[in-house]
A and B are shown apart, each in its own frame.
Chain A
Amino acid sequence: MAQEPLLQLKGVSKSFGAVQALYRVDFAAYRGEVMALVGDNGAGKSTLIKGVAGIYPFDEGEVYFDGQPVQIHNPREASALGIEVVYQDLALADNLDVVANMFLGREMIQKPWRLDEAAMERKALETLDSLAVTTIRSVRQPVAELSGGQRQSIAVAKAVMWNSKLVILDEPTAALGVAQTRQVLDLVRRLADNGLAVVLISHNLHDIFEVADRITVLRLGQNVKEFIAADTTHEEVVHAITAGALRHVPGMVKNG
């Protein structure tokens, strides 16, 4: 069925000086689905999500969220829309405990200025519980003491705690062992099953075929193909990543 996408990008471009990182890219993410974003190094995956997250706003193109045209200039505006990003390097502060990390930048305050530690701890526990993240011994231990999978789970939990609608995960399993990868992939699937739109960036096609509903392939800053995961094969996706047809030849006149 032709469901309306939660996030839709139409013809977005971004360049850094002379480097054209993205060129007229179309992209969509749907509620309740995992959209995988794949491509070789330098294909523009990170630039694309940083544009959506407001870190490097797009130079041109249209962004629709929930059917409305929007402009995202900075991370706060992205958060306000309900877009959360879990970065590859996690962006957790090792010296802070789990609760502090989950609420960083959005702390709950008891009147007048005091941090409401009890309420934050309660909500953190609830969130971890709802995501079935059960391996954390104490939410008061510094994040430095957690395993890679646990840290990834905290980062994901942090992202979904804020009534987010779209969660973007950048290589969430890159540094993890087999069992921890399993944990995180289950978590990713659970997010989509809870009705969120999930964008998953990964190099690992095995992981992608396990959880993704759709697959968008980027190559040299352009999108070459969108697949339905159930209707395609590893080979087709690999072929698109390495040799997919570009719609615009690099170096040609822009408005060609």
Chain B
Amino acid sequence: MSGNNPAHLMRTLSRIWAWLFLLALVIFFSLTGEGFFSLFNLQAIGANVAILLIMALGQTFVIISAGIDLSTGFVMGLASVAGAMAMTALPPGTPLPLIALTGLAVGLGVGLIPGLVNGLIIAKLKVPAFIVTLGMFGIARGAGFLLSGGMPLPVSIQGLGRIGNGYLFYYYPSQGLSFLNPPAGVTGVELRQVTGILPHPLTFAVILVLAAHWLLKHSRFGLHTYAIGGNQEAAIRAGIPVDRRTVALYMLSAGTAALAGVLYNMRFTNGAANSGEALLLDSIAAVVIGGASLFGGEGTIIGTVIGALIIAVIQNGLVILGINPFWQFVAVGVVIILAVLVDQAKEQVAS
């Protein structure tokens, strides 16, 4: 076993470069940006990245299977519109948990439809995923705007914003930790001294990340996803129900996009057809930066998490440094190309 040959070194490097890069970014912004390395700001990064990250989870599976889902951004928008309409349609006085669950169920249900259609057309009619999901990109976009009448739909329901912006724990120096709500009796300016711990979007994202990681790494479905992406012909001959798996993969991708849409409802208390427009390419970028190959067969959930964090840290850090926000696009673009270069260098050394 040669531990020092260039191929081995390159493989190790390609596995950990994203971690090192993220670490370097955090160190850099901590040293240069006032307030970057604080509990409040780091949690804000976590809460802000949640929607993007959740959307990227399903995309990770699709990309590992050698597919691509270009429709997720507008599926998220469509789901957020549907969720908002459902929640505002409920009679006044409906308990908050029921409202939230209705939004979740309707958003998810509506969001899964484009995924089902994508999957069926790709699996049964053998149309390339790029084309099918590009078509669905337009369809979901149009449907979202038609449903919402072209305007964002406000969801003014008491307490709903708390779900998207609240914390799991609150800490107030004289009263210790409290669960879900700031300590009773703390009001007015005192509230500013309350520290929130674990923003809900972050908790929600962490749960989904763990579930997705388990599914990809330890389940039959995950293994089949890698097999389909690595050699679809081999997967078919091994008796894997490739068509059914393909439908499930695009439904998974649409499903995580829909969850992102519902989370958007809760966080911004509205539903908007274009709420995910900017997130589509960022979520694909997160997957690619995380080491997934667009040719399929490679990628991990942890990689996607790191990829999403790199994007979020760059965006947050540049804002803190007061740099023109348009540089964010440039920086993320550079990182994407860098990620692919590292991957190619690995392939070249290996062969």
Task: Please pick, from B223, B235, B239, the residue contacting A76 in the complex, using a CB distance under 8 A.
Answer: B239
When C-beta atoms are compared, the residue in chain B nearest to A92 turns out to be B234
A109 at the interface (CB under 8 A from B): yes
Q: How many residues of B contact A (CB 8 A)?
A: 19
Nearest-Cβ distance from residue B329 to partner chain A, whole angstroms: 32
When C-beta atoms are compared, the residue in chain A nearest to B295 turns out to be A95
B192 at the interface (CB under 8 A from A): no
Q: Which of chain B's residues have a CB closer than 8 A to the CB of A137?
A: 1
Q: Which of chain A's residues have a CB closer than 8 A to the CB of B238?
A: 91, 104-106
B34 at the interface (CB under 8 A from A): no
In the complex, A114→B233 CA distance in Å?
25
A107 at the interface (CB under 8 A from B): yes
CB-based contact B220/A115 at 8 Å: yes
Chain A residues numbered 23-66 whose CB sits less than 8 Å from any CB in chain B: none
In the complex, A87→B239 CA distance in Å?
14
CB-based contact A105/B226 at 8 Å: no
Q: How many residues of A contact B (CB 8 A)?
A: 24
Q: Which of chain A's residues have a CB closer than 8 A to the CB of B237?
A: 75, 85, 87, 91
CB-based contact B218/A115 at 8 Å: yes
Task: Please pick, from A85, A90, A115, the residue contacting B223 in the complex, using a CB distance under 8 A.
Answer: A115
- Knowing A93-B226, A95-B229, say if A104 contacts B235 (CB, 8 Å): yes
CB-based contact A107/B223 at 8 Å: yes
Chain A residues numbered 4-38 whose CB sits less than 8 Å from any CB in chain B: none
CB-based contact A113/B230 at 8 Å: no
B227 at the interface (CB under 8 A from A): yes
Q: Which of chain A's residues have a CB closer than 8 A to the CB of B240?
A: 104-105
When C-beta atoms are compared, the residue in chain B nearest to A142 turns out to be B230
Chain B residues numbered 222-278 whose CB sits less than 8 Å from any CB in chain A: 223, 226-227, 229-231, 233-235, 237-240
Identify 14 residue pairs between A and B in the complex whose beta-carbon atoms are under 8 Å apart, listed by A's number.
Answer: A75-B237, A85-B237, A89-B233, A91-B238, A93-B227, A93-B231, A96-B226, A96-B230, A100-B226, A104-B238, A113-B220, A114-B218, A115-B219, A115-B223
Which residues of A come within 8 Å of B, CB atoms? 75-76, 79, 85, 87, 89-96, 100-101, 104-107, 109, 113-115, 137
**12 further contact pairs, Cβ within 8 A, besides A95-B229, A101-B234, A104-B227:** A91-B231, A91-B234, A93-B227, A93-B230, A94-B231, A94-B297, A95-B231, A100-B226, A105-B235, A105-B240, A106-B238, A114-B218
